[in-house]
Amino acid sequence: MSDGGDAMKNVIEVNGVSIRYITGDFKNIGLKEYVIRRLTGRYHVKEFWADKDITFSLDSGDMLSIIGSNGAGKSTLLKAVSGIMIPTEGSVTTNGKIAALLELTSGFDADLTVRENTYLRGAMLGYTREFMDEKYEDIIAFAELGEFQDHTFKQLSSGMKSRLAFSIACLVNPDILILDEVLSVGDGAFRKKSGNKMKEILASGVTGILVSHSIEQIRELSNKILWLDHGRQVTFTEDVQTCCDAYEEFMNTKKAPKSDEQIREMAEAFQRRKLEQKGKKHQQQVKQVEAYIREGNQPAVDAALAILRENRPDLLAENVTGNTKG
């Protein structure tokens, strides 16, 4: 725990953070072109703001989800929070030990064995040798790679690689946990296992930041939400459900809202759409029931009953058998 004492406020504080990439400078165009352009006065640097003026703060135990389409600046922002990148403008303050799990499988060495890679990665994540000696068996068991320990890394399938990466990374015991798309690795069975493991870690009271493309997961796990669009902060709110509704509408219309007002409107539009869809499905089913009953044979009646059971179980509660036999 930190030296704060009373309930931890502002474990993470991100204040007006902007991050700029520069394209078209000497690195892009090469030394020769750089000199030529400098001499002829045609040297221009293009700026690209991956994030522009992002502000939010998290208290201890908060779980923040960052949503936004590809290229919205989510991963760049995570790099700034985890301290890998220094923001061009603004500031990031964090209290506590940070574990950032970003793009897990990169950074392994293809020619080292699974065992060697495990130790190397553990070292990179800041574990001690004793800790790795103690946990090594667990890691391999969790990743289900027992028989591959002495294979080189390049012999593994991509699913195995991400399983190993996840298993090493989830040993962390941080105050702040940053997850970039790590809850969706491996096959179905492993995904379930890893999801549970993550929930276990999150339940231990860490402050978390999550980037995920699964809206379901976000609705389930987070209590705050940050929406980015082309590097711009659309909103930062605690109203996760409304925001997710609006975001699902956004994925349909591709028009980002400009104000809280519009977010609310979009959320309502989404609910309306959902209701409409439900209504449409309902009408279809009513028609189907009618058709089945008109046909009158036993399988058709069974199908009609199935639909009724789904939508109006109350109608079937009592004298059901009597009705159907008639």
What residues make contact with other proteins under the rule CB under 8 A?
21-22, 26-27, 30-31, 79, 82-86, 98, 100, 102-103, 106-107, 109, 111-112, 116, 119-120, 123-129, 132
Q: Which is nearer to other proteins, 56 or 108 (CB)?
A: 108
- Kindly state the helix (H) or strand (E) to which residue 46 belongs, with its residue range: strand 46-58
> 207-211 and 176-180 as β-strands: parallel, antiparallel, unpaired?
parallel
In contact, 260 and 271? CB cutoff 8 Å: no
User: Least distance to other proteins from the beta carbon of 317, Å?
Assistant: 58
User: Least distance to other proteins from the beta carbon of 46, Å?
Assistant: 13
CB atoms within 10 A of CB 4: 13
Q: What is the dihedral of CA 95, 97, 102, 106, to 10 degrees?
A: 150
Q: Which is nearer to other proteins, 84 or 320 (CB)?
A: 84
User: Least distance to other proteins from the beta carbon of 108, Å?
Assistant: 9
Q: Which is nearer to other proteins, 26 or 136 (CB)?
A: 26
User: Least distance to other proteins from the beta carbon of 169, Å?
Assistant: 10
Q: Which is nearer to other proteins, 50 or 304 (CB)?
A: 50
User: Least distance to other proteins from the beta carbon of 272, Å?
Assistant: 42
The DSSP-derived string for 162-231 is HHHHHHHHTT---SEEEEES-TT-SSHHHHHHHHHHHHHHHHTT-EEEEE-S-HHHHHHH-SEEEEEETT
In contact, 90 and 40? CB cutoff 8 Å: no
User: Least distance to other proteins from the beta carbon of 182, Å?
Assistant: 12
Q: Which is nearer to other proteins, 123 or 286 (CB)?
A: 123
Q: Which is nearer to other proteins, 59 or 116 (CB)?
A: 116
Residue 145, helix vs strand vs coil: coil
In contact, 210 and 222? CB cutoff 8 Å: yes
Strands across the sheet containing 207-211: 89-94, 12-23, 46-58, 232-237, 224-229, 63-67, 207-211, 176-180, 98-101
User: Least distance to other proteins from the beta carbon of 111, Å?
Assistant: 5
Q: Which is nearer to other proteins, 102 or 240 (CB)?
A: 102
